[in-house]
Amino acid sequence: MSKCTIVINTCDAYNDVWELFFKAFEEYWPDCEYNIVLNTEKIKCNLSNVTTHTFNETSTLDNWGKRFKQTLQDIDSDFVIMLYDDFILEGNVNKNKIKQCIKWLEDEKNKDICAFYFIHSQNKNIDDGKFEGFERLPLKADYKLNSAPAIWKKDKLISFIEDNDSPWAWEYFGSYRTYNKQSIFYSIKKENEDIYPYNYSMGGAIYRSKWVSSVVLPLVDKYKLDLDLSKRGLTDKVGGSNKRTLKWKIDFFITGYKMIGLGVFLFAYRIIIKKIGVFFG
């Protein structure tokens, strides 16, 4: 049994992204020693070093949470590196640091540690000096659950996923499930080099189903790919420059209530406090 497996979260509708992902992966992590599993619905990847895990459901709905759990439960490794299909590598992976994280997670005295994030989490983190290059997230940190590249204890990750979760609500409201002293998370320090270097500042190569032009265009040219970029279109409007509609926000909080009940009001309170802070400068 391999100690660790790489799980790439995707879906059939994003199969046009796979070629770019694996071209970059092959360049910057050519000697990857871990099994690679692609988590999707029905379409299979034709690469020999990639195992496609399809969704064993007859429903036409993509129950992301249920599908993700099913994939994880069928993996026999104790640890998983969780990635998304648009986390396109732009530099060499720090393999030694990944191995060090595995050693830390294997240590019984670290049994409450759930994950080491490979990006810096922008919270008021605690530098407890326990793990070189990493700092601990606060007990009730925003986005304590995060889809960013990370190495996880598989069983811990499974425990935080419910069948009806969506990727976006899982990060935001699902973090409530980690607000206990037995759920400890670490993220890399801001001044340290990323273990898994990709364009985190733009959120990856895709934003709201469109290619992020500043990320993808240079890579398509670099790898000489025959991608039909018009299929999903291009954008550079990311983050605050492209706000959600009021209806989307209401539906999102209804989803949150279904996930964590009255705990949703904690997140509503945080948003109000932030808005007040911005208003008064």
Tens digits of per-residue pLDDT, 154-198? 999 999 999 999 998 999 899 999 999 999 999 999 888 789 999
- Cβ atoms of 21 and 51 within 8 Å: the answer is no
Contacts of 107 (CB under 8 A, 6+ apart): none
- Other CB atoms within a 10 A radius of the CB of residue 127 amount to 9
- CA dihedral over 238, 240, 242, 243, signed as positive or negative: positive
Residues found in the chain: 281
Least confident of 80-94, 97-111, 166-180, 254-268: 254-268
pLDDT at 230 over 80: yes
Domains contained in the chain, CATH given: 4-198 (3.90.550.10), 244-281 (no CATH)
The answer to whether 43 and 15 have CB atoms below 8 angstroms apart is yes
What confidence tier does 77 reach under pLDDT thresholds 50, 70, 90? very high
| Alpha-carbon dihedral 32, 34, 35, 37, rounded to 10 degrees | -80
**Average of per-residue pLDDT across 6-29:** 96
**Predicted local distance difference test score (pLDDT) of residue 20:** 96
66 — pLDDT class (breaks 50, 70, 90): very high
Tokens found for residue 262? 């009255």
Distance, CA of 268 to CA of 260 (rounded, Å): 13
Cα–Cα nearest to 106, from 247, 229, 257, 4: 4
pLDDT at 268: 79
Predicted pLDDT at 14: 95
- Mean model confidence pLDDT for the chain: 91
* pLDDT tier for residue 1 given thresholds of 50, 70 and 90: low
Sequence-separated contacts (24+) of 251-258 with Cβ below 8 Å: 252/168, 252/169, 252/172, 255/166, 255/169, 255/173, 256/169, 256/172, 256/173, 258/164
